[in-house]
Amino acid sequence: MSAAKTPDPSGEIRNDLMEDPRERAPLVLGGQNFHTVSNKVAGIVEEKTSLKWILGLGLAMSIMLILVGSIGKLVHTGIGVWGNNHPVGWAWDITGFVFWIGIGHAGTLISAILFLLRQKWRTSINRAAEAMTIFAVMCAGLYPAFHVGRVWFAYWLFPFPGQMGLWPNFKSPLVWDVFAVSTYATVSILFWFVGLVPDLALMRDRAKTKLRHTVYGIFALGWRGSHRHWLNYERAYLILAGLSTPLVLSVHSIVSFDFAVSLLPGWHTTIFPPYFVAGAIFSGFAMVMTLLIIARKLVGLEHLITMRHLENMNKIMLATGTMVGYAYGMEFFIAWYSGNEYERFAFINRAIGPYAWAYWTMVSCNVIFPQLFWFKKVRTSIPAMFVLSIIVNIGMWFERFVIIVTSLHRDFIPSSWSYFRPRLVDISMFAGTFGLFFTMFLLFCRYLPMLAVFEVKGVMPAADPHHEPAAGLGSVGSGKGGHGHGAH
C-alpha cells in the first residue's frame, strides 16, 4: 500500500510523495500556517508533562544507572574489569567510542552539508539530529575519559605543554583524536545553539510563567527578530555551516587514522578515512531514523516530518550503506591483489575465522539488508524503515567490532593468538550509554523546540515572496512559453 495514495485520517490527500518534476513536493502538510506550526512545536514544550514521557524518562534513567554502576565498578577496580586481553588490547571500549562518534555525524551533516547543498527538507529534522549528535558525542567521550582507569587524571588526555612531562605524543593519532573530537563537539554545540536562538526567543515570548520567561530569555540572548538580527544570524549560520563541513569529514577520518597508520593488516589500508566517514553518516542517519520515527508518532509531527523526509533519509542510508559495501569489497579485493600473505590472511580470517559470525552479521546488516531501500515500498513503509534502521545500528556496531577485534586476535605470532570475550562490565557499560543517550534526548524533547520552527516556516509556500495564495499546480510551469527563443 503506497502512502502516497492514502488519505490520512482527516481525509486529507497527502501529496508529500508526489513525483512531478515540474514541482517540488510540499515539505509541510495538513494545511498548516505559520501560527499552527508555532503552536504545534512550542506546544510540545508547553503542554503538561505526559505520563508517557515520565515513564520513558524513568526507563532511560534506570538504564543510565547501569552505566553509573558500571563506571563505579570500573573506577573502583581498574580497567581490568573489561575483557581486553593480549593481543586484543582494544575491544568493546574503542568499539563503543567509534560507534557513538559515528552516530554523532548525521546531525552536522544534515545541518551543515545539506544546508550548503540547499536541501530544504533538512529543516524539519536538523534540530533533533544535531541534539542527538551532541548526546552521542557525550556518550563517546566517556570511553576515552574512563579508559585511563584513574579518571581523576583524565585531563592528561589533553595536549599539555611538554615541560609538564605528561603523556601527549603529538605523532599519535590518539592525540589528534582529542583535538578532533573536542573541536567537533564545540562547533556542533555552537552551531546547534546559534540555530536555537530565534526559537528560544519564541519560547520566551510565549512563556506564561516568570521562570520560563527568564530562563528562555537568558538563552535567547536578547533576540528581538529585527532585520539586523536576522542578517547577522544568516551570515553567522552560513559561516558555521562552512566551518562544520570539513569537520564532518575530519573527525571520523582521524578516528580512522587511529587504526590505519599502524602496520596491522585489516587496519592499515588507505581507503579507511572516506570509508569511516561514509559509515559514520550511515549509522548517524540510522539513529536519527530510529529516534524520529518514535518521536514523530508520539508527539504527532507527521505533518512536519513527512514521509518525504523519511524517504530522503532512507535514500541517504542506501547510498552511504552501499559506499560502505564498496569499501568492504575494495579491502577484500586489494588484500588479495596485494599478494601480501598477511593481508590475505587477515581478510580470509575475517570471513571464515573464529569471528566469521561477526563479519557476516556486519555484511548482512550494513550491505545486504539496506538494499531493500531500492524499493519505494520499503522506503515509505514505517515498520520496514524502523526495523532496517535498527538493523543498521546493529551492523555498524559490528563493523567496528570486526575491524578492531578480528584484526587483533590473530597476532603475527600464532602463540599469542586468543579469542576475545566481553565481560559483564563491557556489556553493561555499553548498554548503559544508551540510557544516558535516551535520557538526554528525552530532556531535549521536553524542554527545547524539537524542530527549527522559523526554518520550517521558511520552506512553506507562504514564505516565498512570489507566493500567491490562489496559485495552484500550474503556477510553476506557467512561465514556460518565455524561453527557448535564442540569440540568432
Partner 1 sequence: MSHAPEVLGDAPDVADAERLDEATGKKLVKVAGAVAALGLLLCIAAYATDAKRFAFSYLTGFMWVVTIGLGALFFVILQHITKAGWSVAARRHMEWVSAILPVAIVLAIPVILGAHDLYHHWMGPQAASDPILVKKVAWLNPGFFYARLAIYFTLWATLAWWFARTSRKQDESGDVELTHSMQRVSAPSVLLFALSLSFGAFDILMSLAPHWYSTIFGVYIFAGSVVSALAVLALITVGLQGGGWLKRVSTVEHQHDVGKLMFAFTVFWAYIGFSQFMLIWYANMPEETIWFHDRWQGSWKAVSLTLLFGHFIVPFCFLLSRHVKRHKRALVAAAIWMLAMHYVDLYWMIMPTLDTGSAHPSWIDLAGLLGPLGVLALVIACKASRGPLYPLRDPRLAETRRHVNL
- List residues binding partner 1 (CB under 8 A): 2, 4, 17-22, 24, 118, 234, 246, 249, 253, 257, 260-263, 268-274, 322, 326-327, 330-331, 334, 337-340, 374, 476-488
Kindly state the helix (H) or strand (E) to which residue 190 belongs, with its residue range: helix 173-206
* Sign, Cα dihedral of 283, 285, 291, 297: negative
Residue 241's contacts (CB-CB under 8 Å, 6 or more residues apart) are 111, 112, 113, 115, 116, 191
Least CB distance to partner 1 at residue 294 (A): 28
Least CB distance to partner 1 at residue 233 (A): 13
In the complex with partner 1, which residue's Cβ is closer, 4 or 148? Answer: 4
Residue 111: exposed, middle, or buried by beta-carbon count in 10 A (0-12, 13-18, 19+)? buried
In the complex with partner 1, which residue's Cβ is closer, 213 or 229? Answer: 229
Q: How far apart are CA 41 and CA 448, in angstroms?
A: 9
Residues in the chain: 488
All three cell numbers of 153: 587524571
In the complex with partner 1, which residue's Cβ is closer, 74 or 385? Answer: 385
Least CB distance to partner 1 at residue 88 (A): 21
Residue 10's contacts (CB-CB under 8 Å, 6 or more residues apart) are 30
In the complex with partner 1, which residue's Cβ is closer, 92 or 347? Answer: 347
Least CB distance to partner 1 at residue 243 (A): 12
In the complex with partner 1, which residue's Cβ is closer, 233 or 434? Answer: 233
What is the amino acid identity at position 457?
K
Least CB distance to partner 1 at residue 273 (A): 4
**Helix/strand/coil percent split, the chain, to 5:** 70, 0, 30
What is the amino acid identity at position 107?
G
Least CB distance to partner 1 at residue 416 (A): 21
Least CB distance to partner 1 at residue 13 (A): 13
In the complex with partner 1, which residue's Cβ is closer, 43 or 273? Answer: 273
Tell me how far CA of residue 184 lies from CA of 96, 278, 414, 473, in angstroms. Answer: 18, 17, 40, 43
In the complex with partner 1, which residue's Cβ is closer, 204 or 309? Answer: 309
